[in-house]
Structure 1
Amino acid sequence: MNVLVAGATGKTGRRLIGELQNKGHTPIAMVRESSDTSVLPQGAETRLGDLKNLQDDICQDCDAVVFAAGSGSDTSEEMTMKVDRDGAMRLVDLAAKSGVARFVMLSSVGADQPEQGGNMQHYLQAKHDADEHLKASGLTYAILRPVRLTDDDGQRDMRFGDGVDPGASAARGDVAAALAEAVDDENWSGRVLLMQSA
Structure 2
Amino acid sequence: MKVLVIGGNGRVGSLLVNKLASQHQVLSGSRNPKAENNFDNIEQVYIDLLSDVDTIAESMNGVDAIYFVSGSRGKNLLQIDLHGAIKSMQASEKAGVKRYIMLSSVFALQPERWNESFLSNLTDYNIAKHYADLYLTTQTKLNYTILQPGALKEEAGTGKIETNVTNPGSNSIANVVDTLVSILQNNSTIGKVILMHDGNTPIAEALDQIK
Q: Is the TM value for this pair above 0.5?
A: yes
Alignment correspondent of 1:83: 80
Contact 2:109 2:134 in 1 (8 A): no
Unaligned 5+ runs, structure 2: 200-211
Instruction: Report the Cα distance in structure 2 between the residues aligned to 1:125 and 1:45, rounded to whole angstroms.
Output: 33
Instruction: Report the Cα distance in structure 1 between the residues aligned to 2:9 and 2:188, rounded to whole angstroms.
Output: 28
Task: Using the TM superposition, give the Cα deviation of residue 52 of structure 1 relative to its aligned residue in structure 2, in angstroms.
Answer: 1.6
Contact 1:103 1:183 in 2 (8 A): no
Instruction: Report the Cα distance in structure 2 between the residues aligned to 1:32 and 1:154, rounded to whole angstroms.
Output: 28
Alignment correspondent of 2:133: 131
AA matched with 1:182: I
Contact 2:7 2:68 in 1 (8 A): yes
Trace 1:1-198 onto structure 2 (pairs within 5 A): 1-22=1-22, 24-33=23-32, 35=33, 42-43=39-40, 44-54=42-52, 55=55, 56-73=57-74, 75=75, 79-114=76-111, 116=114, 117-136=119-138, 137-160=140-163, 162-163=164-165, 165-166=167-168, 168-198=169-199
TM-score normalised by L of structure 2: 0.83
Instruction: Report the Cα distance in structure 2 between the residues aligned to 1:66 and 1:114, rounded to whole angstroms.
Output: 24
Cα RMSD (Å) of the superposition?
A: 1.9
Which secondary structure does the structure 2 equivalent of 1:82 belong to? helix
Instruction: Report the Cα distance in structure 2 between the residues aligned to 1:189 and 1:80, rounded to whole angstroms.
Output: 26
Which secondary structure does the structure 2 equivalent of 1:96 belong to? helix
How many correspondences in the alignment? 189
Instruction: Report the Cα distance in structure 2 between the residues aligned to 1:165 and 1:36, rounded to whole angstroms.
Output: 39
Pick the structure with greater CA Rg.
2
Identity of aligned residues (%): 31
Task: Using the TM superposition, give the Cα deviation of residue 26 of structure 1 relative to its aligned residue in structure 2, in angstroms.
Answer: 1.1
AA matched with 1:154: G
AA matched with 1:173: A
Alignment correspondent of 2:202: none
Contact 1:106 1:143 in 2 (8 A): yes
Contact 1:69 1:84 in 2 (8 A): yes
Alignment correspondent of 2:204: none
AA matched with 1:105: M
Which of the pair has the greater relative contact order for Cα pairs under 8 Å at 6+ separation? 1
Instruction: Report the Cα distance in structure 1 between the residues aligned to 2:124 and 2:91, rounded to whole angstroms.
Output: 24
Task: Using the TM superposition, give the Cα deviation of residue 20 of structure 1 relative to its aligned residue in structure 2, in angstroms.
Answer: 0.8
Task: Using the TM superposition, give the Cα deviation of residue 37 of structure 1 relative to its aligned residue in structure 2, in angstroms.
Answer: 6.7
Task: Using the TM superposition, give the Cα deviation of residue 57 of structure 1 relative to its aligned residue in structure 2, in angstroms.
Answer: 1.0
